Amino acid sequence: GQQLNQSPQSMFIQEGEDVSMNCTSSSIFNTWLWYKQEPGEGPVLLIALYKAGELTSNGRLTAQFGITRKDSFLNISASIPSDVGIYFCAGQLGSGGSNYKLTFGKGTLLTVNP
């Protein structure tokens, strides 16, 4: 099955710094999604990307769908303490039936030092 490699595994940064994380796949996805998960909670959708090359922003978050459709990155600008959590990338083959299921990366643990 598909494998997603997410990096880095963890980051420890100072408040105000920018953050970048990425995800690569051994095969093509038609949709990329980025989720944030806080301890003891379920993942929360941050950004969804639907087209190769697409660049989408959500506040201080920016994500891009790679041209090859095998990668995506997420940037967080001017980090704040509440950005702490685990960020997951997830790939989706497409629409309809079992193609909707998500394959997740292993996550990037972000710690922000005030």
Of 15 and 95, CB closest to another protein? 95
Pairing of strands 108-113, 10-14: parallel
11-19, 61-69, 76-84, 96-104 -> range binding another protein (CB under 8 A): 96-104
- Burial (CB count within 10 angstroms: exposed 0-12, middle 13-18, buried 19+), residue 31: buried
Residue 100 touching another protein (CB under 8 A) = yes
Residue 106 touching another protein (CB under 8 A) = yes
Residue 41 touching another protein (CB under 8 A) = yes
Binding mask 42-81 for another protein (x = CB under 8 A): xxxx--x---------------------------------
